Amino acid sequence: MSSRYCLGIDTSNYKTSVAMTDEHNNIIFEKSEFLEVEHGALGLRQSIAFFKHVNVLPSFIEEALSKVDISNIRCISVSDTPRRVEGSYMPVFMAGYNAAKLLSSSLSVPLYSFSHQEGHVAAVLKSFDTGLSDKKSIFFHLSGGTTEALLTANDGVHYELKIVGGTKDISVGKLLDRAGVALGYDFPAGKYVDKLALKSGYNGSKYLSKIKAHDGWFNLSGTEYQVLGAIETSRTEVAAELMERISILLFDVSKYLANKFDTKKIYMAGGVASSKYLRAKIRELTNENNSFTINFSSPELSGDNAVGIALLGGKALNESIFNNTI
């Protein structure tokens, strides 16, 4: 019997992603690439990011299609909004949606749409080869544009995601990127801050105040101000202390939310969740407190990718076949 494939597309703020999965949730193809940002810049305008996605997507899709018999591609899946709530919109996602719509029409297969956040949830769960079995779980979406704690539950082929904590101003990813650019690295620069922190280790320096949280919420703009002021004094020490403070903050908020919502499982998703320093420190803290678990997916499935979107499309296709609606 021939395999059934679903092709997924995700065009987020700074990354173009295409993936292909089969009916057994195996990853057949995955490719993601950051959009180029000029040296010293702190990001991209939506119009420029859209243009860059449009230029990159055709070669990614062509490469994905070359991996399988096209006649066995049974659906196309795409992220068309940041969140699955009314009014959620970003122009960059239309680059992926337009390409997906054209593919769906050309191949005469269904088109399924999901939010970018739902893709993150599905990709993280893929690392554990499990569905969302618990009635309630907390997912942290940690990226350059988002730092949100999401109370998560199944909602048919979708996920119900309720924001229950996170930042009230800038995201963790934005803080790390701005610190990295100030250190002279190219955007996105968070990974360089992570490497500096790992290289030096935290030595107990106190350039930065403890980041306080209330009821699962916190602010990071004050920490940004302190970081940018202290970088001239000590590059490596500030980088390590910043990663230390962020790791402790996320652990403390996780512990609070796990208790508040009576859940034992916390998941970390988004590009920031691929930080080696963050993972090591949070695991150290979690080992000292086993009342709940904090779970990280593989680094490849933590950042923006289209694997989760392809898996969700396959799930929707299976539901349609089971219900005889296709």
Same-domain pairing of 94 and 161: no
The 10 Å Cβ neighbour count of residue 191 is 18
- Read off the CATH number of the domain in which 192 is found: 3.30.420.40
The model's pLDDT over 44-58, given as tens digits with 9 standing for 90+, comes to: 899 999 999 999 999
pLDDT digits (tens, 9 = 90+) for 245-269: 999 999 999 999 999 999 989 999 9
**CB 114 within 8 Å of CB 299:** no
**pLDDT above 70 for 132:** no
Whether residue 109 is predicted with pLDDT greater than 90 in this model: the reply is yes
pLDDT band at 325 (very low <50, low <70, confident <90, very high): low
DSSP 122-137: HHHHHHTT----SS-E
Contact, 11 vs 309, CB < 8 A? no
Q: What is the pLDDT of residue 131?
A: 64
Total domains, the chain = 2
Report the C-alpha gap between 152 and 131 in whole angstroms: 12
Domain that holds residue 118: 5-128+304-322
Of residues 83 and 175, more confidence is placed in: 175
pLDDT of residue 1 exceeding 60: no
Kindly state whether residues 160 and 283 are assigned to the same domain. yes
Residue with tokens 């021939």: 2
Do 197 and 68 share a structural domain?
no
With cut-offs at 50, 70 and 90, classify the pLDDT of residue 43.
Answer: confident
For 15, what's the count of Cα atoms within 13 Å in the CB-facing half-sphere? 23
Entry pTM: 0.92
Res. 156 pLDDT band, cuts 50 70 90: confident
